[in-house]
Amino acid sequence: MSEENEENSGLSQASALAGAIRNEIKKVLIGQDEVIDQVLVALIACGHVLIEGVPGLGKTLLVRALAKCFGGDFSRVQFTPDLMPSDVTGHAMFNMGKQEFEIRKGPVFTNLLLADEINRAPAKTQAALLEVMQERQITIEGEPFKTGEPFMVLATQNPVEQEGTYPLPEAELDRFMLKVLIDYPSQDDEQNMLEKISAGSSPSGFNLDNLRTLIKAQQVIALQKYALKITIDIEVIKYIVNIVRATRDWAGIARGAGPRASIALMAASRALALINNNSFVTPDDVKSIALPVLRHRILLAAELDIEGVETDDVLRDILRNIDAPRQ
């Protein structure tokens, strides 16, 4: 078999595996196909994802379903106003029997970490995730400890306007590769959801026990490495840079996206191309994933905020006005 055929075969296998995970999650999260794809993009692109939506739309269900399909370690932290940073990261504790300090590792030492309702906790607790999201390690008593590989934070949050929520620090927001918005399902999807639940054994929702474990930690790492092999033309790289730089001087944007956004957009575009079984990144891949990459990295001017203009509306305007390279 030629090298090119091997590459095509490997790409097809990687795309098929991602598709199988997508279809498995769709069994319990109905009518949210785009949301599922975006979470898979973050997983393959070595990124973290922030999922926002009002209560009851399946944010936690999505993460638990992904964890069920993934054969690695999974931890969940319910963020509350009284949660302390050490409850997340771990701490040093004195062992009376041994007469010495020992390290008690927190729930961040895992592969998939669900930070549930992250904006219910104050900023100092939210900030406990800063180091581990960037460095994949936690420093306890001056000593660094590595997390599992792969490592991904999936945080859910309610809209900031809701009572009892705190806005996330800007530095932490920037470390999320994607901000995914989950909305109400369509009428047909909601009816389909009720029909499936009525035929099941759980009266309150979906039973995840029937989901299959499809991928192990080493396979996730292999997918992540494969995504780095996806070809990206210099013209597409210029297109990505032009989009991100446009946010810095666009009318109505008070603060634009930084260079981390360019890196994230390129990585996410490669992961999306892999999922779509393409060996190279197209401008359409960039457009498709640009909103979740950028929506949490820009700040609208006060006058637009007052007028009720949405961040996504401004980003769509940018995408319409930036010339895409011809394919």
Q: Which domains does the chain have, with CATH numbers?
A: 3-227 (3.40.50.300), 230-327 (1.10.8.80)
User: Whole-angstrom Cα distance, residue 60 to residue 279?
Assistant: 32
- 287-298, pLDDT tens digit by residue? 999 999 999 999
C-beta separation of 226 from 274 below 8 A: yes
Structure tokens at 213: 């474990």
Identify which has the larger pLDDT, 232 or 96.
232
User: Could you identify the residue written with the tokens 């996504």?
Assistant: 312
Is the Cα torsion angle 276, 176, 35, 300 positive or negative in sign?
A: negative
Is the Cα torsion angle 206, 210, 211, 217 positive or negative in sign?
A: positive
Indicate whether 116 pLDDT > 70: yes
Average pLDDT score over residue span 210-237? 92
Query: What's the whole-number average pLDDT of the chain?
Result: 87
Is the whole-model pTM more than 0.85? yes
Q: 193-197, 245-249, 275-279: which range is least confident on average?
A: 193-197
- 70-87, pLDDT tens digit by residue? 888 888 999 999 998 888
| Side chain identity at residue 269, one-letter code | S
What integer pLDDT is reported at residue 233 of this predicted model?
95
Question: Residue 104's pLDDT band (boundaries 50, 70, 90)?
Answer: confident
What integer pLDDT is reported at residue 168 of this predicted model?
83
User: Whole-angstrom Cα distance, residue 228 to residue 78?
Assistant: 33
The strand pair at 253-255 and 178-181 is best described as: unpaired
Structure tokens at 310: 């949405």
- 18-66, pLDDT tens digit by residue? 999 999 998 888 888 899 999 999 999 999 999 998 887 888 888 888 9
Indicate whether 180 pLDDT > 60: yes
